[in-house]
Amino acid sequence: MEKTLPSIPAKRYFTIGEVGDLCGVKPHVLRYWEQEFTQLRPMKRRGNRRYYQHHEVLMIRRIRDLLYDQGFTISGARNKMQELLQHERDRNAFGGMLLDGVEVIEVSDSMLCDFVDSEVTEEIELPVGPWMQVRQELFAIRDLLAATT
């Protein structure tokens, strides 16, 4: 039942009718979503006419996907949108280097020198399999780095 949405033309501003056609929702739904999703703030000009920018059209498509395709409630979609926007802010703060579920930490050279192979094997019991290969490759890289300094 999922219909393909048209591509977004290269325009600076879109009227509410154009956005409705681009996103597959009616204008009264867009006005309602503005009340429910605080991130959605189209520019208003004469006579309270709404003008949406490209990023807002993408946001509306994301909201539509959460509500109509993934089955979220309004409250759930609002929370998910806040999570997604926070994740994007975090990624921008770290220069795009943030990975899902991975904490970014700074490591100094002295911390690397203090690292001892036997400490890791005593504290952590590693599973056999592909992780062992990754572990061995990491130790090889560490040894190569230590040899070049």
Q: Could you say which DSSP state residue 24 is in?
A: T
Do residues 17 and 27 touch, judged by C-beta distance below 8 A?
yes
CATH number at residue 33: 1.10.1660.10
Positions of the chain with pLDDT under 50: 1, 98, 104, 112, 116-123, 126
- Same domain? For 19 and 81 the reply is yes
Residue 40 gets the label, from left (phi > 0), alpha (psi -120 to 50) or beta, of beta
Q: Are residues 84 and 118 in the same domain?
A: no
Concatenated DSSP letters for 84-112? HHHHHHHHHHTTT---TT-------HHHH
Residue 26 resides in a domain: yes
- Centre a 10 Å sphere on the Cβ of residue 85 and count the other Cβ atoms it contains: 13
Statement to judge: residues 116 and 88 lie in one domain: no
Q: Supply the pTM of this predicted model.
A: 0.60
User: Quick check: is 102 in a domain?
Assistant: no
pLDDT at residue 100 in the model: 52
Domain span including residue 131: 109-148
- Same domain assignment for residues 87 and 137: no
Residue 100 included in any domain: no
Q: Are residues 117 and 83 part of one domain?
A: no
Are 42 and 76 in the same domain? yes
When divided into structural domains, the chain yields a total of 2
Integer CA distances (angstroms), 51 to 2, 14, 31, 42, in order? 27, 5, 12, 6
